[in-house]
Amino acid sequence: MKTVQLKKETNTEWQYVSEARELNEPLVLVFGNRYLLEDETIYDEVRKKFPDGHIVFGSTSGDITADYVSDDSITITAIEFERTAFEIKTSNVLNSDLDSFKTGKDLVNQFAKEGLKHVFVVSEGSFINGSELTKGMNDATDEALLITGGLCGDAARFEKTLAAYNENPKPGEIVAIGFYGDTFEASFAIHGGWTPFGPERIVTKSESNVLYELDDQPALDLYKKYLGDKSKELPGAALLYPLNVKSEDEQQSFVRTILNIDEEKNTMILAGDIPENSKVQLMMTNVDNIANASELAAKQALEKRRSQPQLALLVSCIGRKLVLDQRVEEEIEEVVSIIGTETTVCGFYSYGEIAPFNLEINCQLHNQTMTITLISE
């Protein structure tokens, strides 16, 4: 495996952040600021750098390498595989009659199943129901296929997200990369570092990812009560106080970020489904807990492997980034300290992370986690 990385900021030229080298038909991952990705010349710019590349775009809430986390840039990570084949499939939730479940199922069904080892998903993050997307992807495979990835971001604006394959980035797009090869190896781990607090409440009314009532009371009213003065900063403040959800259908609890609120309907819109009759608690964290969780995720992903990873794909949540603030690079440094400096690191801060629970097979939508996928061939 050979890799190169480049970076571009506003009104600057592309700069190599790694050794410059020629690559043959590389997979080109382009993660960056949504405003910069809206430039009509961006695809042509990247194509000139990689004339025979397979170019995948995704907007972020911060792009990640081993050396930095950047909000106002675009980062390219180009990978030439020596013993691995890959296919790229797309779907668009705005140009289809399919719901999120059927979109996920259709996406995975596009791949040839023989020899398929891993699927990495770069999904739009504004219109998709991430929970249903992952359920649909799981429904499309009977094998122990590892699916990881994330929902694209748009800083903390939540206006729109962009993704694309071999064209200018656009809204609604979902891109899936399928990897094949006898020597290909992928491992993963997720960890959050958030702690539940306060009383458990029962979800007495919800619909998909919209939360109406807790304990037969308006959910938004209760949430504001717990936030106190911070409720004036909603919806942004909600990223710092997600919900821990215990569902009757899941063995493990999961976290749901509150993406928006509807004052008129007195509801909260979450990043994924929140089933009725599930139990929820508020959660909180601090910088040290987040950094420690990232270190633990890296250790677990590394322990599952037979070989040293050559590429690390990191997807971390926008809520974690807001907590870390000026210390955001600390959680990346913790990962690098475990996996080593010889591993190329790329990724993005997201509106939702896609991976199985640790020790499970089917992928899930997560919030507020560091999700690590380690790859080698």
Q: How far is it, in rounded angstroms, from Cα 350 to Cα 298?
A: 18
Q: How many CB atoms lie within 10 A of CB 101?
A: 18
Could you tell me the CA-to-CA distances from 227 to 62, 182, 252, 268, 312 in Å, in that order? 27, 52, 26, 14, 37
Q: How far is it, in rounded angstroms, from Cα 262 to Cα 245?
A: 21
Q: How far is it, in rounded angstroms, from Cα 291 to Cα 332?
A: 8
Tracing tokens 């649909």 back to the chain, one arrives at: 136
- Cα-Cα-Cα-Cα torsion 110, 115, 118, 123, nearest 10 degrees, comes to -10
Res 359: pLDDT:
82
- Joined together, the tokens standing for residue 157 give 């604006």
First to last CA, the chain: 7
pLDDT in tens, the chain (377 residues): 999 999 999 889 999 999 999 999 999 999 999 999 999 999 999 999 999 999 999 999 999 999 999 999 999 999 999 999 999 999 999 887 788 999 999 999 999 999 999 999 999 998 888 999 999 999 998 778 999 999 999 998 889 999 999 999 999 999 999 999 999 999 999 999 999 999 999 999 999 899 999 999 999 999 999 888 988 888 888 888 999 999 887 778 999 988 888 999 999 998 889 999 999 999 999 999 999 999 999 999 999 899 999 999 999 999 999 999 999 999 999 999 999 999 999 999 999 999 999 888 899 999 999 999 999 99
Contact 220, 289 (CB under 8 A): no
Phi, psi (deg, nearest 5) at residue 155? 50, -140
Amino acid at position 267, single letter: T
229: three-class secondary structure by DSSP:
helix
pTM over 0.85: yes
Res 345: pLDDT:
98
Q: How many CB atoms lie within 10 A of CB 367?
A: 30
Q: How many residues does the chain have?
A: 377
Res 377: pLDDT:
96
Which DSSP string do the residues of 121-178 spell out, in sequence order? EEE-SSS--HHHHHHHHHHT-SS--EEEEEE--BTBT-S---EEESS--BTTEEEEEE
Q: How far is it, in rounded angstroms, from Cα 97 to Cα 199?
A: 41
